Amino acid sequence: MKNIFVAGHRGMVGSAIVRQLEQDSHNKVITATRSELDLINQYAVNAFFAKNNIDQVYLAAAKVGGIHANNEYPAEFIYENLMIEANIIHAAHLNNVQQLLFLGSSCIYPKLAPQPMKEDALLTGELECTNEPYAIAKIAGIKLCESYNRQYGRDYRSVMPTNLYGENDNFHPENSHVIPALLRRFHEAKLNNDPVVMAWGSGKPMREFLHVDDMAEASIFVMNLDNQTYQQETSPMLSHINVGTGVDCTIRELVETVAKVTGYKGKIEFDATKPDGAPRKLMDVSRLARLGWKAKTSLEDGLAATYEWFLAHQDDYRK
């Protein structure tokens, strides 16, 4: 039996990892709610690790939010994420946990990184200013893992996902990311028989999206790679691995697919006076492909599954 601690098990990615781990009867999944364990409290985290005989850690816990939240609360975003990472990684080391997987974000890369973004683009340029504190915390998490590996011979790995969506996403009307925001907007437009849905921007920017179940599968895959295979594709100073589909689409294509999935029959218009953001954000996933993993879920299938979940949880999804 393998004792596996999933930090952040109620989040979108953490819950997906738990669902997949629990399919294997040889896994004992260990979780703790925020009221049971304050990950910002170093003493509490150390005591938790000392009490539980943990074999593996999935570090999916993080303080997350959209552009508005990142702009309004930069101190909380950098402090809380740094503390969560440092406490869990150090406690894992102190309690002789040899295997840990840290989940980062594509925002670690420079805002003008060449496309598609390769792992070696890290620390080669200026970060996007709107989420710089969060990005710096995630970069620190990667470097914490690398440092414990170099100094103590640990096997702490990092994966950097592209834009994620799926079950347990945040469908808040103001603070959600693009896919849950669009799904909710088109659903409500359909119910209200709105003749037009207005989308921000020109629709020309290109983005990559990965279903959270694929992300969970990739995380478990990377965690359980034998060390020799993993080290063939990484290095002590460049140990993180991108996770994505390797395929992007225009925002216009995304909006049209959401309209199709939700059954909205009205007109779609784009407000080109609104900002587009970066013209393209695509991950280079060749390293993960060489290791033997590729995403399975198409965008339309993933959107349809996410919309089904949204419909089934309208009474209790996050407001």
Dihedral Cα 79, 83, 85, 86, nearest 10 deg:
130
Q: What does the longest C-alpha to C-alpha distance in the chain come to?
A: 62
9 is in an annotated binding site: yes
74 is in an annotated binding site: no
14 is in an annotated binding site: yes
Look at residue 275 in the predicted model and tell me its pLDDT. Answer: 81
Q: CA 267, CA 299: separation in Å to the nearest integer?
A: 22
Look at residue 319 in the predicted model and tell me its pLDDT. Answer: 47
11 is in an annotated binding site: yes
Predicted TM-score of the model (pTM)? 0.95
Under 8 Å CB-to-CB from 169, ≥6 apart: which residues? 12, 176, 177, 179, 180, 212, 306
Within 13 Å and on the Cβ side, how many CA atoms surround 86? 12
Residue 277: DSSP 8-state: -
10 is in an annotated binding site: yes
User: If the chain, 319 residues long, is cut into consecutive pieces of 10 residues, what is the mean pLDDT of each piece?
Assistant: 96 97 96 96 98 98 82 91 98 98 96 95 93 95 98 98 94 80 94 93 94 98 95 92 97 97 96 85 96 97 96 72
Active site residue 156: no
Q: CA 248, CA 262: separation in Å to the nearest integer?
A: 21
3-class DSSP state of 99? strand
Whose structure tokens read 């779609």? Answer: 268
| Ordered structural domains, the chain, with CATH | 2-167+207-247+282-298 (3.40.50.720)
Q: CA 165, CA 306: separation in Å to the nearest integer?
A: 8
Q: Which of 58, 73, 79, 134 is catalytic?
A: 134
Token pair belonging to 170: 């945040």
Look at residue 238 in the predicted model and tell me its pLDDT. Answer: 92
276 is in an annotated binding site: yes
290 is in an annotated binding site: no
Look at residue 318 in the predicted model and tell me its pLDDT. Answer: 47
* 244: nearest Cα among 205, 281, 204, 278: 281
12 is in an annotated binding site: yes
266 φψ region: left (φ > 0), alpha (ψ -120 to 50), beta (else):
beta
Token pair belonging to 39: 């990950």
